[in-house]
Structures are given as C-alpha cells and as structure tokens.
C-alpha cells in the first residue's frame, strides 16, 4: 500500500470520526512549522456581547497561527465584576466585545517559536495555562523586573476591542494567544484553582501594597470590609500569611459565615448596628476594646470608604482596593479621618506579573492549611447560558460565577 493510499484512509477515518463536519488535522489548519494536537475545528464559538445585557454566541473561523502564537481550548472562566459592569452599562465603550479575563484552558496548538512561558517554564501541547497581560508599550517587561507597572498600563484578554481575530476573550470555545502576551503554565493546579488565579492575584497585590506601609504585621489586628469574592480572598491571603486576628464586616449573614471559613476570627453585620459610631464600636469590641491596626476596604461603595476610617487606630493603615470603576465621590473629614490619626493609606489596582506568579503558591498554601478556596465558585454555567450567568452575578446570587465548557 503506497503512502497516498494511507493518507486517503487516514482522511476518511478522520472524516467519519467527526461526522464529516468542521474538523480537520490541526497541522493543516495552522501555519507551517507549528505544533498541534491531533484535531482542532475550523470554526468555534465566541460569546460576543452585542448590546447591553445580551450576549450572542457566534461562530467564527479559527485564525491561522503565527510563529509566536498559541491556541488554547478554553476549559473555564470566572465572571468578574468588570464583566458585570460591561454587561450592564458598557462603561469602557467596548461593545461588541468578547469578554472573560479569568480564564484557563489547554494548549492545543502553538507556533514554532513558542518554547517557554513568562516564568521560563517549558510549554508543550496539553499544558494548562492562564494569561496575564499584553504590554503594548513595553513588551520586554518580565515578572522579574523590579517595576511597579501593573495591568493598568497594558491590554488584557477579555477587554480587547473586537477585531478580525474575534477569539480575544475567555468566554469562548478557544482563545487566540498572540505573540508578546504573558502566559503561565499552571498544569499543577486543578480547574477551580486556575479559574480563581486572576481574582486572587488582585488580593496578593493588595497585600503586597499594604506591606509597604510597614504597619501590616504577623500579629496585626485587621478588619476587612466587604465579603464578596474579593474580600473573602483577601481574608484567605491574610490567613495564609499567618495573620489570625481578622474581623470581617458585611451586611449578608451567609457571606459572613463564609468569611469564617476563609479565616476570619470574628464578624460584624453592619445591618445590626445603627449609625457609624455603633458600627465602629462593634468592630472595636471584636478586638477586645482596640481599633484595627490595618483595614482593607473591598467594596465599591463610597459610603463604605467613608466609614472605614472609623475602624482604624491612630497610626494605623488602610488599603483601598474596592473601586475598579468610578463609583462616585466619598465624603471624609481629612482632619479627623487622616491627619489627626496619622493614618497611612495606599491604593491598590489589579496586579503585576510577579504577583501573578506568587498567586500560584498562595493557592497551594491555602489548600495546604485547609482553606476551602474552591467553594468560592458557587455557580457554573455552560457557554450557551452566559446571559443567565451574568444575570445571576448581577442579582448577587452566590459568590463566584463561572462559565465551564463541556
């Protein structure tokens, strides 16, 4: 039997396996010199936000890979508050857009020049990966640079304007990782942990920012205001550092119970206290008559920001990380809230490459000490139910919502 007959038989078998539909050998679908798994489709689905509060699941041809590109089959992606804001209001004027930036998946094809990830770890077909940033202004930045450039100065998959590639967000069957992007091999983490990497990196960065004040210490009394996913992860990060005296403040009993699971020592339900003085008194009582040494403000509420200063002792510190979009002005008294108390305040905005890599170790450490991080993901939806997933998020049902592909 000559080679042409063998090739014909192989093509016929592949055709029968795929029902004669849209799949083909990956090498034929990708550029010359690329490596790929056995079969990838010609087309795939993308959840495209086409109008306010509405995704259309569209089908597009998978583009040809360049020598430095990677094609990833998406396994799952968390729904972020940023996705919810874009879904509800389009504050970034991106519509139409393929959202989803808390994603992870498996490499199914990559260009011939792709050898290692952004931390120097080998990359192979079948490896599980996450993406971080695309440094459009300085592509030579690495995780080892002692710089303070965070994601605010870069592009992010899931928040890119639509173009002829289309596979720009993790709410899809596949995502097209372009040359120059940061990518990490996280094959040693399970799917739920990988979905949580991006939001956890936000809190790893926030705690690193807090440490620059030289106030946050091993034995600090810490208050965390806001027990959504961000606040709960904040508690977990603090707990993995050995900080044990943590008070969580929120208005939902279920979230406060979850805060205890994440490592909070005591909780305060602000709905049970009338007025800021009574609320501050409740926090003080949790610390046996002391105010907090340090506070993390994890809500997007200007009123909550105004209140947080009342929980902090003279000479204490504050990290504000709750405002990922403009939530409005907060009213404070600079004399009483900052100057006379000499409170040191730092802001925190997303993360750096180094924080991203540190997050992998945080997730392993959290599991090692028995923190049920994976329980943060309370709802999972298939891609075709993405509209329902976003509505569930907006209704604040559960904690972390995720899109998980079949």
| Whether residue 166 has pLDDT greater than 80 | yes
Q: Given this model, what pLDDT does residue 317 score?
A: 98
Mode of pairing for the β-strands spanning 181-185 and 174-177: unpaired
Q: Given this model, what pLDDT does residue 141 score?
A: 60
For range 16-38, the mean pLDDT: 47
Q: With left for phi above 0 and alpha for psi between -120 and 50, is residue 20 left, alpha or beta?
A: left
Q: Given this model, what pLDDT does residue 298 score?
A: 96
More confident residue, 32 or 232: 232
Report the topology of domain 16-188+372-404: Quinone Oxidoreductase; Chain A, domain 1 (3.90.180)
Asked if 16-188+372-404 and 200-347 have one fold, the answer is no
pTM of the predicted protein model: 0.88
Task: Please give the radius of gyration of the chain, using alpha carbons only, rounded to the nearest integer.
Answer: 23
Spans of all domains in the chain: 16-188+372-404, 200-347
- Angstrom distances, CA of residue 153 to CA of 78, 82, 99, 144, 352: 22, 17, 19, 17, 10
Indicate the CATH number for domain 200-347. Answer: 3.40.50.720
Q: How far from the centroid of its chain's Cα atoms is residue 288's Cα?
A: 35
- In tens, the pLDDT along 174-199 reads 999 999 899 999 999 999 999 999 99
- Angstrom distances, CA of residue 336 to CA of 223, 295, 314, 339, 356: 19, 17, 10, 6, 37
Nearest alpha carbon to residue 74 among 96, 111, 99: 99
Q: How confident is the model at residue 150 (pLDDT cuts 50, 70, 90)?
A: low
Nearest alpha carbon to residue 366 among 214, 232, 176, 178: 232
């Amino acid at each position: 039997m000559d080679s042409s007959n063998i090739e014909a038989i192989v093509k016929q078998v592949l055709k029968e396996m795929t029902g004669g539909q849209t799949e083909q050998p990956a090498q034929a679908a990708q550029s010359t010199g690329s490596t790929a798994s056995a079969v990838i489709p010609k087309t795939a689905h993308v959840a495209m936000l086409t109008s306010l509060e509405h995704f259309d699941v569209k089908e597009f041809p998978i583009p040809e890979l360049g020598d430095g590109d990677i094609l990833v089959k998406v396994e799952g992606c968390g729904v972020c508050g940023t996705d919810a804001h874009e879904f509800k209001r389009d504050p970034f004027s991106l519509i139409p857009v393929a959202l989803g930036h808390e994603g992870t998946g498996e490499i199914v094809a990559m260009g011939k020049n792709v050898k290692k990830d952004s931390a120097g770890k080998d990359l192979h077909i079948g490896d599980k990966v996450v993406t971080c940033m695309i440094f459009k202004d300085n592509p030579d930045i690495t995780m080892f640079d002692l710089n303070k450039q965070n994601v605010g100065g870069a592009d992010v998959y899931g928040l890119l304007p639509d173009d002829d590639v289309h596979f720009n967000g993790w709410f899809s069957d596949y995502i097209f990782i372009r040359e120059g992007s940061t990518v990490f091999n996280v094959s040693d983490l399970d799917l739920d942990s990988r979905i949580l990497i991006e939001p956890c990196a936000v809190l790893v960065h926030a705690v690193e920012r807090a440490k620059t004040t030289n106030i946050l210490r091993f034995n600090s009394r810490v208050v965390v205001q806001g027990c959504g996913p961000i606040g709960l992860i904040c508690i977990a990060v603090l707990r993995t550092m050995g900080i044990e005296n943590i008070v969580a403040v929120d208005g939902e009993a279920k979230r406060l119970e979850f805060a205890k699971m994440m490592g909070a020592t005591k909780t305060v339900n602000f709905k049970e206290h009338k007025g800021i003085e009574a609320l501050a008194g409740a926090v003080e009582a949790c610390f046996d008559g002391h105010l907090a040494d340090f506070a993390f403000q994890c809500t997007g509420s200007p009123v909550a920001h105004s209140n947080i200063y009342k929980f902090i002792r003279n000479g204490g510190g504050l990290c504000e990380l709750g405002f990922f979009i403009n939530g409005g002005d907060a009213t404070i008294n600079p004399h009483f809230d900052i100057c006379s108390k000499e409170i040191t305040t730092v802001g925190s905005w997303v993360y750096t490459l180094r924080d991203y890599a540190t997050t992998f170790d945080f997730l392993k450490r959290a599991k090692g000490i028995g923190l049920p991080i994976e329980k943060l993901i309370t709802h999972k939806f298939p891609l075709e139910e993405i509209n329902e997933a976003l509505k569930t998020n907006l209704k604040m049902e559960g904690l972390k919502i995720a899109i998980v592909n079949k």
